[in-house]
Amino acid sequence: MVTLQRIHSIHPLNLSTNHSCVRDNTSDVPIPGFHRFLRQPDRYKLNFCFRFICKTTNSNVFVITNIAEAFSISLLGNQYSGYLSQPYFALPPPATAPPASPTRPQKKKKLDKRYSKIDDSYTSLEQVTEALTLAGLESSNLIVGIDFTKSNEWTGSKSFYGKSLHHTADHSLNPYEHAISIIGKTLAAFDEDNLIPCYGFGDATTHDQDVFSFYPEDGFCNGFEDVLSRYREIITHLKLSGPTSFAPVIEQALTIVEQSGGQYHVLLIIADGQVTRSVDTESGQLSLQEQKTVDAIVKASKLPLSIVLVGVGDGPWDMMKEFDDNIPARDFDNFQFVNFTEIMSKNTSSIRKETDFALSALMEIPSQYKATIELNLLGSRVGMSSWRAALPPPIPQASSSSYNTSKALELVPFSCVYGQTSQLLISESISRSTNDKNLCPICLTNTNDMALGCGHQTCHECGETLQLCPICRDLIQTRIKLH
């Protein structure tokens, strides 16, 4: 960080080569590419209208004036040299409005309202990537969270040929893999180290309380190809469970952002359904899982973190759309919901559908990144009372240690098609997998002790939160507790 100070007015300005902007106490002026000026000063020219003192973090002080003058500054241990010459970037002129009365202190400018709702303002993926570049985004720092709740077994009845959304028995991509590959390829240009923290939630080890890391000791995946390969190894060992809450994976992302010193991150959550909501929850009220998720999203708006929730499978997604539009009291609109199934079922080419999905998922990122700059969130920390620690991956240690990270899958995308599927085959498949020990088909832990009106059974804990039967998908109107 370089501090520039006007000598005659002692007016502080902050110039960040990482954030590519000049700041004072009245405005934030983005200067796209200023970091490139420092690296290649002979290609860029600057003009400052005042005389400044330039002070770096290591206390080196240099004077810069508005005349052509050679200078050298030390930033983060690197030497940069350049000159000031003809105008190229200019600071805004002083405000022409009369100063506020000394007896009436000026109200603090509220920046959060400008970003309380960020519109989808782009029509092509090229516009999004160009806007990210112009905003000065150098690293996207992608984080991935994947839903491993039990409902994945039946929410592909229409959109994935009746198969589990985590089905990996062939060489085609399932919906989770397809979404990861599209976003991963799109953001690859903005990922400097190619390291991606990946987490799972909703399985029998995490439920709605924790997350597990794809690698032991919270190791990161090396590129999205490694994410796909590691995903295929993990899915064969874990047990799908529930209930669904996005709070743990959001809080894990907050931990990463804090530990990085406030660098900008994008959290990609891929899930097959909305947050668990009991049928007994009154209209206008939130379930426990919903409230924790909302609280986590609001807390995340105090840090430079964008959250993109991708919905795969049959849904329903009505509550997630409300989440996207109506989450209150945030510093900026940091949450975006995208219906993957709806986009991928359009009657267009595969390339067009993938482009539309990437556009829908990323179109708010430029404005969100700009909001983190103007709200001074980059480099900030909220001082979380406790950091999350991810659980180890739910696979045998031998399998984990023998994993070859250089091995990439040669997979092709699936075609998302709505068609007629035998509901009987789906029901029989689910029933066979759980009848051996009479376990609840939701959590695979508790014994079935609640009968639904349709005749199927679950445990009491899971059954109270369901709206539709997990086997036949009928609306639940009656519940009978078994003794």
pLDDT per residue as tens digits for the range 378-390: 987 777 656 889 9
* Residue 213 reports pLDDT greater than 80: yes
Beta bridge partners of 71: 82
Average pLDDT over residues 467-473: 75
* CB 388 within 8 Å of CB 299: no
Determine the pLDDT at residue 121.
60
The residues that bridge with 199 in the sheet, in sequence order, are 145, 213
Decide: 203 and 445 in contact? Cβ < 8 Å: no
List, in sequence order, every residue forming a beta bridge with 120; answer none if it has no partner: none
Type of residue found at 440: C
Mean predicted lDDT score pLDDT of the chain: 71
What average pLDDT does this structure show over 149-168?
93
**Between vectors from CA 170 to CA 169 and to CA 176, what angle results, nearest 5°?**
80
Share of the chain above pLDDT 90, in %: 35
Q: Count CA atoms within 13 Å of residue 483 on its CB side.
A: 0
d(CA 65, CA 73): 14
At 286 the pLDDT is 84
Distances (CA, A) of 295 to 61, 200, 288, 292: 44, 20, 11, 5
Q: Radius of gyration of the chain from Cα atoms?
A: 26
More confident residue, 284 or 91: 284
Residue type at position 281:
T
pLDDT number for residue 292? 93
| DSSP states along 314-377 | S---HHHHHHHHH--S-SS--EEEEEHHHHHTSSS-HHHHHHHHHHHHHTTHHHHHHHHHHTT-
Mean pLDDT of 415-444: 47
Q: Cβ of 422: how many Cβ atoms within 10 Å?
A: 10
Question: Rounded mean pLDDT of 233-257?
Answer: 95
Q: With a cut of 90, say whether residue 404 has pLDDT above it.
A: no
| Contact in structure between 267 and 296 (CB atoms under 8 Å) | no
| CA 17 – CA 136 distance, rounded (Å) | 10
If DSSP codes are grouped into helix, strand and coil, which group holds residue 477? Answer: coil
Kindly state the tokens that stand for 59: 């206390």
Amino acid present at 12: P
Q: Tell me which of 27-41, 191-205, 297-311 is least confident.
A: 27-41
Q: Which residues contact 421 (CB under 8 A, 6 or more apart)?
A: 157, 158, 161, 162
Distance CA(393)–CA(253), nearest Å, equals 17
Q: How far apart are CA 207 and CA 315, in angstroms?
A: 20
Q: Where are the domains of the chain?
A: 2-93, 113-401, 434-481
Question: Per CATH, is 113-401 categorized as 3.40.50.410?
Answer: yes
Q: Does the pLDDT value for residue 413 go beyond 60? A: no
Is residue 242 within 8 Å of residue 202, measured between CB atoms? yes
Instruction: Decide if 300 contacts 309 (C-beta within 8 A).
Output: no
The predicted structure's pLDDT at residue 30 = 38
Q: Report the distance separating Cα 293 and Cα 250, nearest Å.
A: 8
- What is the DSSP code (8-state) at residue 116? S
* Largest CA-CA distance found in the chain, in angstroms, rounded: 88
Cα dihedral sign for 253, 254, 258, 259?
Answer: negative
Supply the pLDDT for residue 92. 40
Question: pLDDT band at 122, cuts 50/70/90?
Answer: low
Categorize the per-residue pLDDT at 480 as very low, low, confident or very high, splitting at 50, 70 and 90.
confident
Indicate the residue type of 113: K
* Distances in whole angstroms, Cα of residue 409 to Cα of each of 76, 142, 178: 39, 20, 12
Model confidence at 305: pLDDT above 60: yes
Mean pLDDT of 74-87: 32
Torsion angle defined by CA atoms of residues 337, 341, 347 and 352, in that order, rounded to the nearest 10 degrees:
60
Give per-residue pLDDT as tens, 4-59: 333 333 233 333 333 333 333 333 333 333 333 333 443 333 333 333 333 333 33
Confidence band, pLDDT 50/70/90 cuts, at residue 177? very high
Q: Torsion over CA of 116, 122, 126 and 130, rounded to 10 degrees?
A: -40
* In contact, 142 and 193? CB cutoff 8 Å: no
β-strands 265-271, 212-213: how paired? Answer: unpaired
Model-level pTM?
0.62
Expressed in percent and rounded to 5, the helix, strand and coil fractions of the chain are 30, 20, 50
pLDDT at res. 23:
37
The lowest-confidence range among 105-119, 331-345, 348-362, 426-440 is: 105-119
* CATH superfamily, domain at 434-481: Zinc/RING finger domain, C3HC4 (zinc finger) (3.30.40.10)
**Rounded to an integer, what is the distance from CA 185 to the centroid of its chain?**
16
Q: What is the pLDDT of residue 54?
A: 39
pLDDT at site 27: 37
The b-or-e profile of 57-95 (16+ CB within 10 A means b, else e) is eeeeeeebeeeeeeeebebeeeebebebeeeebebeeee
